[in-house]
Chain A
Amino acid sequence: MLTKRIIPCLDIKEARVVKGIKFLGLRDAGDPVEVARSYERQKADELVFLDITASYQQRQTLISLVEKIAQNIFMPFTVGGGIRSIDDIRDLLNAGADKVSINTTAVKYPELIQEASAKFGSQCIVIAIDAEMANSPQSTDHGKKRWKVYINGGRTPTELDAVEWAKKAFNLGAGEVLLTSMDCDGTKEGYDLELTKAISDAVNIPVIASGGAGKLEHFYDGFTKAKADACLAASLFHYQELTVGQVKQYLANKGVLVRL
């Protein structure tokens, strides 16, 4: 049977691993190649690399760093940040990425999803969605929660509804959704379970929950209550508060199918 995946994420800025809280206040967390190697040893199921400033500063993703990391790991490797074109995707795949994660450009030009999935296959086109709860206390939608999509690394709000956008991306050929809750990111208070479940129910492709993992129970809730296919965490693993192995052992003991 297919197992649930545990995915460490490297947020990269200026060739270093960094981590902030709610997308701000970045802290250095080490050399990316070293960090990636330690996750390989811990039997992470996959690795995600996000060049978090690429889109904002209009610069190419750090191709050479992707190459270096790819040389050191034998697990699936997803790279995102600053992807604007088919050529950008091809460059990353050639540098050793297995999948690419597209955010801002997919929102601006959704046809890129269609073109890229036709060209490289749906399985390597991941749509990254950064979402924040849109309900104000005075809202009149009778308690039904809604989430707004942000682009440019969480700096720019859009008018898109996260659930609707996920459905559209799925219909255009996206192979996976990497869903980050901006409300929960870096708080260590747990994934946004409602958001994750809403998206997971809306699309028939795998959903990676991201933002908020702080303790073992959060992973369990992400898989069971929110129906995530994979759970992603960054600072928790970077600062060695938990290892991938500890998370998996805990999940296995609770009856969640994982690869130990």
Chain B
Amino acid sequence: MIGIIDYGMGNIHSVQKALESTGVKVLVINKPEDIQECDKLILPGVGAYKDAMQELSNQGLVKAITDFIRQDKVFLGICLGMQLLFDSSDEAIGVKGLGIIKGKVKRFFLPEGFKVPHMGWNQLNRGVRGKGSAVDDCPLLKGIEDGAYVYFCHSYYCAPKDNRVIAATAEYSKDFCAVAWQDNCFGMQFHPEKSQDVGLKILRNFVEL
């Protein structure tokens, strides 16, 4: 069973509907006990980092999520859900993230002409160019072409401490982490549920893992 965590941060329906279009059943989760029924979990989310951590904590979901990930079950964070996997964010100084992937979330400070939010369709670049790391075998990106377009909408980006967790980058004035992959844990800065064929293929890969 695939669970989607509903913690009041934006609309989970689009993620649910996109997954269901691949033919799987989805469980919407709003209490920690339900997580145990799942073998895969998605943390979606749009909005503010601080509110999101607050909501997760209020609903007793922080421990349930970290326990789930420690059990080596498959976890996917989307957009803000990806950012919450990290230690902290510039958006909410002093607020602790889930701390699953080491590193922090930074605000875009970009030259003139690069507007924030980074909003629209941008290309996924597989592997980290010039960094010598070979994480181009990310199972969620199986069959996705280098340079495929996906939909982004964010003002902050994840800066992992260890570049080896970067499975794909995108370029917006500079390269940033678009897909993070650490063991059983994945994060996507873009919205696969809003990325038409490419996004649905990525979600199908997730379902088939």
Contact = CB atoms under 8 A, between A and B. Distances in A.
B10 A124 contact: yes
Contacts of B36: none
A119 B54 CA distance: 13
B146 interface: no
A74 B121 contact: no
B116 interface: yes
A259 interface: yes
Contacts of A204: 115-116
Interface string B10-53: 11011001100100000000000000000000000011100100
A43 to B, nearest CB: 7
Interface string A150-179: 000000000000000000000000011000
A195 B152 CA distance: 27
Interface in A92-114: 93-98
A30 to B, nearest CB: 22
A98 B155 contact: no
A224 interface: no
A45 interface: yes
Instruction: Identify which of A70, A94, A97, A123 gathers the most chain B CB atoms within 10 Å of its CB.
Output: A123
Contacts of B46: 98, 120-121, 123-124
B171 interface: yes
A6 B200 CA distance: 21
Interface string B111-126: 0000111111111000
What DSSP secondary structure best describes chain A's contact surface? loop
A51 interface: no
Given A74-B18, A119-B47, A122-B117, A1 B171 contact: yes
B14 A98 contact: yes
A15 interface: no
A75 B194 contact: yes
Contacts of A76: 151, 153, 191, 194
A154 to B, nearest CB: 26
B45 to A, nearest CB: 9
B117 A175 contact: yes
B149 interface: yes
Contacts of A60: none
Size class of the B contact interface (CB-based, 8 Å): 35 or more
A26 B151 CA distance: 33
B47 A94 contact: no
Contact of A3 (B13, B80, B120): B120
A187 to B, nearest CB: 27
A115 interface: no
A3 B152 CA distance: 11
A3 B10 CA distance: 25
A206 B172 contact: no
Contacts of A122: 117, 155
B28 to A, nearest CB: 12
B120 A229 contact: yes
Given A93-B10, A95-B13, A122-B117, 20 more contacts: A1-B172, A3-B121, A3-B122, A5-B121, A70-B14, A74-B193, A74-B194, A74-B195, A74-B196, A74-B199, A98-B11, A119-B51, A120-B10, A120-B47, A121-B10, A122-B155, A123-B155, A204-B115, A206-B120, A229-B115
20 contacts: A2-B121, A2-B122, A2-B152, A2-B172, A3-B121, A3-B122, A45-B121, A74-B194, A75-B196, A76-B194, A96-B13, A96-B14, A96-B17, A98-B11, A98-B14, A119-B51, A120-B46, A122-B117, A175-B119, A206-B120
